[in-house]
Structure 1
Amino acid sequence: MAFRIHLVLHRLEEPYKEVFQLRVFGELSFSQIAAIFGKTESWARVTYHRAKLKIQERMDEKHE
Structure 2
Amino acid sequence: MSVKESQKDIEVLAKDLPLHCPMPEMSSWNSHPRVFLDVSKTGAAQCPYCGTTYRLKAGEVVKGH
TM value normalised by structure 2: 0.26
Higher helix residue share? 1
Q: Give 1 or 2: higher strand fraction.
A: 2
> When the two structures are superposed, what TM-score results if normalisation uses the length of structure 1?
0.27
